[in-house]
Structure formats: C-alpha cells, structure tokens
Structure 1
Amino acid sequence: MNKKIIQNFLYQALYQMSTLLFPMITIPIVSKALGSEGVGTYNYIGSIVSYFVMVAGLGLSNYGIREIAAVKENQEDRSKRFWELETLNLLLTLLTIFAFLLFSFTVDNQKLYLLSGISIVAVLFDITWFFYGIEDFKKITIINFIIKAGTCFSIILFVHSIDDLATYFIIQSSGILLANLSLWLFIPRKIQLTKISLTHVVSHFVPAARFFMGKISVVLYTTLNKSLLGILGTVTLVGLYTNSMMLISISVTMISVLDNVLMPHMTKLFVSNKTEKMKEVLNKTVQIQLFFSILLFFGILLVTPSLVPWLFGSEFEYTKKLIPFLAVIVLVQPLGFSISRQYLIPMNKIKEYNKSVMYAGGLGVMINFALIPLFGVWGAVVASILSESVVTIYRVLELKKELNYSLDYMYVFKLALLGAVMLMVTRLLTNGLQETMLTSFFQVIVGTGIYLLGSLVWKINPIVHLKSR
C-alpha cells in the first residue's frame, strides 16, 4: 500500500478511535439520565427522521465519492462536477425539508421531531463525499474529532435527567450540522466557481438514484426495525435494541476503516484498468478485516457481562442476552462492506450492489413484521442477523463469480480457534471479578494480548505479513 493510503488510514483510524472513546464516556451518562424510555424515544424519532435524511441525500454519499474520484486530478472538471452534484443536493434537500415540515404537523412530540429535523438541514451542507473523493481524509478527521469532543462535553454538562431529552436532541442534531458546515471552510482551496447547466445537474439524478434504491433497501433492514419496535412494541424495546446494537455498530465502524480510505483508490485503479491490482488490494483488506472481526466478536462475548452494568446501567440489564447474538453481525457486515466499497461500487456494478441489499431489505421487512408482534425485540435481532448475512453471502458469491475469488477458509478457521481459546482463557483468569469498568478493561488487555501473541506464534497475523512484503 502506498504512502497516501497509509496516511489516510491513520487519519481514519484516529477518527474511528474517537467514535469509540467519546461514546464510552457519554453512553453511561445518557443511559442513566434518560433511561430506556428516553433512549428509546430518541432513537425511535431518529429512525423516522432518518427516512427524510435518506431522501434528501439521495445516493450522493457513494455516487459522489465515485464521481469526484474519477476527475480529481483535473481542477476544472472537479469543480464542475462538484457544483453539479451540490446543486442537485440543494434542490432535493429543500423539497425534503418542505415535506418534513408538513409531516411534523401530523405527529405527537412535534417539538422533538423538529429538533431531530435539524439533521435534515445538515444534508444541505454535507460535502464529505467530495473530500473522500479527493482522498483528503485529514480535514474530515480533524473536524469530526473536534465536533465529537464538543458534543461529548455538552452532554456531560447539560444532560442529567429525562427532562433534558430535548437538550439531547439539540446537541446531537446541531453537532451533525456544525460538522458539515465546517468542511465548507476548505472548499475555496479545492475548487473554483464555474458555470454549470441545469441539464448536467439533472443528468446526475438517475445514476445517483440507482445508489438510492440500494439505500432504501439498506434502511429496510437497519432502521425499519427501530421504527416497528416503536410502533408495534414500545419505545423501551427500541432503547434496549439500540443500545445493544451500539456496541456492534462501533465495532463494525472500527473494522471498516480501510473501506472509506480505499474506495476512491479502487475507483482510480478501475479507471486505469488495473483489475488484478484491485483483486490484490481487496484480498489484503479482507484478511486484515477478518483478523479484527473475529477478535472483536469473541471480545464482545467476553466483556458483555462485565460491561453492561457500568456502561448502560440497571435498566438495560436485558441487553446482556441480546448483545452476544447480535455480535454475529461483527463477523459478516465488514466483509460485505469491503466487497461493496472496494469492488461493486468502484467497478460501477450498482445492479449487483442493489440486488444484495434489496434481497436483505425484503427479508428484513418480512421477518420484522412477522416476529416483532410475537417476540418483541428478539424479532428485530433475528431480522438484523439474517439480513446482514444475506447481504454478505450474496456479495461473496458475486465476487467469486466475477473474479474467481474465494476466502481462505483455513485462515478463518485458525482465527476462530484462536479467538475461542482467547475467550476461554481470559474468562478463567477473570472469573469472580466484579462487574466494573476495571474488569472490562483488564479483560480487553488480557484477551487482546493472548489473541495477538497467538497469531504471531501461529504465523497468521496479517499485519506482520503485510509489512514483510
């Protein structure tokens, strides 16, 4: 991997570390201050508002990266493409805001919906796709780190009880808006004002909409379960499910650092017709991600009993039962992300990408509607696991068909065996310790040490192998 990729990886790694550090500070505060009902209300309303955010953003988060990456070397073409895409974003977001305001008159808790709706306004100014496209990860990392730190301190200062729920909405939504606005400070150095035509603006709608179709399907199996839990169940169930998924989401985000870094690079390789090089990079990435996915899967199983009491509080004790099952997602989702962001999207295989998420979306809807009324939060858990598995299995089969690519199953087996040994040994060493933060920290240090040492002795550590090449 070249110097630019390594540098961008380090920036993204720093950013993802902040996504782990700050939640570890705020989750206990928010969980204990708002309780399962408050957390559930925030996430239920957030799930509804996210549909409007999705429509406003269309498919620009992925389409924009690919389009900018393809012309990033030419400032005139880059500027023209940027203004075309941003104008399309402006038109769509303004229409969505109007629709949301009409919708807000039909719901209870109108004030909370409007506060959450600030995140729709934030889409107006969201140009992260541009900076990802030109592979400038430094600015995204620094700005997001500062905003996350500010959000964290604001929560510490102002969120103390369920009465502060509206304040929590303001802090979270305003943080998103401020982060997006801040990136515009650097735009004058990257692009120039240029004349564009409405015809060219509109021409981006259909290809971006292809990404949007996939986006809808993703929402069907990642967000709809929260909405249905609130509609068919209670907001308390939403709170239990959301907090359980939070650990999973943080873990997946950490593992998937390389995907954001490599997507524009892989697009460039595809444009240069270097398919074999793409396959080589993908293979290295998958090995690294499997290494950490398996570590985090067994790590979650290890620390959940000691972590839930101090991180979430007594109201969320039931999440001890949910998290170990949801941890399966840590194994399958990063692999699916890698294939989509490093193969399907760079090679413009949007049809295959959409199929994978449409199948999962359809399955997720059916399972959620069938099981949530009968089994509550467990219905959402089953839907999430099966939907994510379908996405990844489809993409693996597609990759195998197109590039004759196959996973190294012996490598996976060795990592799984090492993870199981790590889990059992660390459990024995920490058996009887109190359910405290210190115990969780000790388990993480011991477990990670055993896993890394074992991988070196068994010669299956992909980082060492990468450096030796």
Structure 2
Amino acid sequence: MYILILALSQAVGFLSLWPYLRKSVDMVPIRSLNLIRHIRPSVTLLIPQIATQIYLQLNKTMLGSFEGVQAAGFYDNSDKIIKMVLAIVTATGTVLLPHVAHSFADGDHVAVRRSLVTSMHVILVVAFPMAMGLASIASPFSVLFFGGKFAVVGIYMAVESIVIVLIGISNAIGIQYLLPTNQLQAYTTSVVIGSVVNIILNVPLIGLFGTMGAVVATVVSEAAVSLYQIVKVRKQISILRLFAETWKYFVSSIIMYIIIKLIGQGSTMGVFEIFGQVIVGCIVYVSVLFILRPKLLVSYIVSFREKH
C-alpha cells in the first residue's frame, strides 16, 4: 500500500503537467521520434543514478545488518535533514544545465566555462554557511525535531553536513559542466568511484564506529567524487579561478559557526532560540562577507547599482 501510494502520487503529479503542453507542443508521430538512437545515451545517464541509489541504500542496509535497526534509524534521520538542505544548494544545477548545454551546442565554450565559474561561486557562497550553520545547531535541533531519544543524531548531522559543500562542488562540475558538454563517461566514472569507495569503507568503519562509521564513509565517498571530477576538468578550466574566493566563504562561515555556538551555550534551546541563532548567523555571515569583499558579491552590488 505504501509503495502504491508513492507510485500513484508521482504519476498524478506527472500527468498534471500534460494539459499545459497542449498550448506549446504539437502531436508528433511515434515513427518520427527515432527512439532507438536515444536508448544508449539514456542508459549511460541511468548508470550513475543506479550507482548512487545503490550506495545510498546500502548505507542503511549494512547499518541495519551490522548494528541493528536503531543505528540505521539514526543515520536515516540525519541523512534526511542533510538532503533537505542540499535541495537548495543543488537547485542551480537544474536551472543552469539547459543554458550550458545550449551554449555548448552553439560552440560558445567561453560562455560554458564562465557559467561554471559563476555557478561554482554561487553554490559555495550558499553551501559553506548552510553546512556550518547546520553543524552549529545540529544538537539542539535534533532534540527539538526528533525528540530527546534522538539526541545523538545531532552529532551525525554535524559531521555529515560536510557533504553539503562536497556535493555542491560535484553538482556544479558534474551536472552543470560534464553532462551538458557530453562528457558522460567522466561523470559516470566519478559516481561509480564514489559508490565503490563507500561500499569498501562501510564494512570496516561500521564495524569499528557504528553509525558514525557510515557517516564518515559517506563523507569520504562524496569527497572522492568531487576530487575525481576536479582532476578530470583541470586541463579544461582553471581550478584556481574556480575556487579563487573559497577561503572567504570558509572564513565567514567559521566565524558564523563560532558565534552561533557561543550564543547557544548554557541556554535551553526551543524553536524561537534556534530561529534566533539562524538569524544571527545569517547577519554575521553576510557582514563578514562585506568586509572580505568577494568579487562575486562586489559584481552583484555594482550590477544592482547600475540597474537602479
């Protein structure tokens, strides 16, 4: 029944889009679609998705087998919160992929590289404070959101929050550059490497450290994906240019993290207290960014002034 509800709800959601197509798309004869020629690239895109799902599910399965259902539940709850935050960070990939693909099809490689650099900076300027911010409030948030018996989830969330930055990087390079520029093999290889690293590390780390071992394996596997992709594109685009302003985002996030932790010491944390910490964290992060003056921020301010 659960599976049926999930399947039908998604099917209804997809079908609801069809009426809007009538005004934009004409009926095309099936014979003119040439479906066979699209099978190979579709399968190529399917492989990394399968590999990703395998190691994402294996984490919980192996935890359940080695440590029990409770350990798997702790990991699952931590992972769900991280994935919710990640949806904001990776949204740019969905938006920019068609734009980059169009520029690549037109032969405008300069625009493709410029889009990647801009996208990377936008992702990192958001990913760093989200990762540090979530890590700073992870403990009180887990108690408030899940209950006192799930207090340990906060520790796992704080460590796993690192993947927000790592997946942000791999999303920019993989989804927004490798895929639109038809480098499917490099993208697929990176994801498969992440899956293999995760599976290999899970066995010893879960045995030694339990749920924390699975969290560490996840972080290392995502780091492997990002590192491989960076190595693959190092001759196509300047890595220094790609990460030129990263230290400013990192320093701003660290200062934000320290201040949030200091504010939260010795106080009972409720909804309003956590919300207040989030607001203070945002103010601190933006203020430090204005002091460090990253080029991305300066260019947007100049552009805004010129328009207004």
Select which of 296, 301, 325 maps to 2:135.
301
What amino acid maps onto 1:305 in structure 2?
S
Q: Which amino acid aligns with 1:358?
A: V
Map residues 7-26 of structure 1 onto 2, 5 A cutoff.
none
Correspondence 1:436 to 2:266: no
Give the paired residue count.
303
In the alignment, the residues of structure 2 paired with residue 191 and residue 231 of structure 1 have an alpha-carbon distance, to the nearest angstrom, of: 50
Q: Is residue 200 of structure 1 aligned with residue 34 of structure 2?
A: yes
Q: What are the within-5 Å matches in structure 2 for residues 34-73 of structure 1?
A: none
- 2 CA distance for matches of 1:403 and 1:331? 20
- Deviation track 1:103-134 (CA, whole Å, cap 9, x = no partner) reads xxxxxxxxxxx522x3xxxxxxxxxxxxxxxx
Q: Structure 2: how far apart are the matches of 1:175 and 1:352?
A: 34
Residue 115 of structure 1 is matched in structure 2 by 2
Q: After TM superposition, give the deviation of residue 319 of structure 1 in Å.
A: 0.4
CA offset digits 1:65-94 (Å, max 9, x no partner): xxxxxxxxxxxxxxxxxxxxxxxxxxxxxx
- Shift in alpha-carbon separation, 1:221–1:466, aligned structure 2, 3 A: farther
1:259 paired residue among 93, 99, 110:
93
Q: For the aligned residues, what is the CA RMSD?
A: 2.1
Cα offsets for 1:368-420 (capped at 9, x unmatched): 23333443322321221111101111111212122344355552222222211
Alignment of 1:163-202 (within 5 A): 170=5, 174-197=8-31, 200-202=34-36
- 8 Å Cα contact 1:308-1:316 kept in structure 2: yes
Q: How many percent identity over aligned positions?
A: 23
The structure 2 residue matched to 1:273, chosen from 76, 99, 107, is 107
Checking the alignment, whether the CA contact within 8 Å between 2:139 and 2:152 is kept in structure 1 is: no
Query: Higher mean Cα deviation, 450-459 or 364-373?
Result: 364-373
Within a 5 Å distance, the mapping from 1:64-213 to structure 2 comes to: 114-116=1-3, 118=4, 170=5, 174-197=8-31, 200-213=34-47
- Residue 244 of structure 1 corresponds to 78
Q: Which residue of the partner structure matches residue 185 of structure 2?
A: 351
Matched, 1:361 2:195: yes
Matched-pair contact (CA < 8 Å) for 1:455–1:461: no
Deviations 1:177-224 (A, max 9, x none): 332221122222232222123992232211111111222222233222
Q: How far apart, CA to CA, are the structure 2 residues paired with 1:248 and 1:289?
A: 16
Residue 447 of structure 1, CA deviation: 0.7
C-alpha displacement at 1:299, in angstroms? 0.3
Residue aligned with 2:30, SS? coil
Partner AA of 2:289 in structure 1? S
- The runs of 5 or more residues in structure 1 that have no matched partner are 1-113, 119-169
**C-alpha distance 217-435 of structure 1, shift in aligned 2 (>3 A):** same
Is 1:386 aligned to 2:220, yes or no? yes
Tell me if the contact between 1:309 and 1:435 (Cα under 8 Å) persists in the aligned partners. no
CA contact (8 A) 1:305 1:435 kept: no
1:426–1:443 CA contact under 8 A, matched in 2: yes
Could you state the TM-score of these two structures normalised by the residue count of structure 2?
A: 0.91
Contact 1:304 1:320 in 2 (8 A): yes
Instruction: Decide whether the 8 Å contact of 2:260 with 2:280 is kept in 1.
Output: yes
Which residue identity is paired with 2:14? N
Q: Please state how far the C-alpha of 1:461 moved relative to its aligned partner.
A: 6.8
3-state DSSP of counterpart to 1:380: helix
- Partner Cα distance (2:70, 2:199) in 1: 21
Within 2, Cα distance between the matches of 1:229 and 1:264? 38
Given the alignment, which residue of 445, 453, 459 partners 2:287?
453
TM, length-normalised to structure 1:
0.61
What are the Cα deviations for residues 23-81 of structure 1, in whole angstroms up to 9, with x where unaligned? xxxxxxxxxxxxxxxxxxxxxxxxxxxxxxxxxxxxxxxxxxxxxxxxxxxxxxxxxxx
d(CA) in 2 for partners of 1:239 and 1:403?
A: 42
Structure 2: state its 5+ residue gaps: 304-308
Do the aligned partners of 1:241 and 1:319 also contact (CA within 8 Å) in 2? yes
Match of 1:286 among 95, 100, 120: 120
